[in-house]
Amino acid sequence: MEKHDEEIIAKVGKIIIESGIESLSPERLARDLNIDQRTLPCHCETTEEILLTMLESLESELNQLVTTAKQKKFPPEKELNYLFKNLYSLFNIKPYYLTIIFSAELLNKSPEIQNLLQKIKISAKRYLLQIINHGKEEKVFKSKRTAKSLAVNILGGFRLFMNQEQLLNKMVSEAQAIKNKSPAD
């Protein structure tokens, strides 16, 4: 990914976090980048293209995380730990990824967006299933529940945890903003 694309993704992420996905548009992106809309890259001409770019960026980062984890050849329990520590770190650094991956709004967007979102979720679940199945084969994970059931519960728990983390961070930011307001405000 080019540096310019990284800047655009960061700006799009800021818009999503501050104003929500519904406020995202090429016009808003150009305004926030302080450029003329006609100079936006070709993959940012429509809101759908911008969202697809965000999802492709997320997919790329997740694929890199998985590739790195597999190369380390950790035992299953360490690989699971590595995966979730790095996901936690990624979503804390780039919370807009959480917003888009769990967004109900995106489910009402184009089939292309829905398909990419589904592809990302399926890939994540498939990788988690590989780790769990390997752990069960190695007798490290001893649960009698199916790997699929465990994966669904783990992903659901992680989603809940990250949503709570986002809410907590938002509350802290709002409390800090209130604290920093002068009495005249």
Max alpha carbon distance in the chain (Å)? 65
Predicted pLDDT of residue 163: 87
Contact 127, 66 (CB under 8 A): yes
Predicted pLDDT of residue 55: 94
Predicted pLDDT of residue 59: 96
Contacts of 117 (CB under 8 A, 6+ apart): 55, 100, 101, 106, 107
State how far the Cα of 137 lies from the Cα of 132, in Å rounded to an integer.
9
Predicted pLDDT of residue 184: 62
Predicted pLDDT of residue 90: 96
Domains and CATH numbers, the chain: 48-180 (1.10.357.10)
Q: pTM for the complete prediction?
A: 0.85
State how far the Cα of 12 lies from the Cα of 52, in Å rounded to an integer.
12
Counting as low any pLDDT under 50, the low residues of the chain are 1
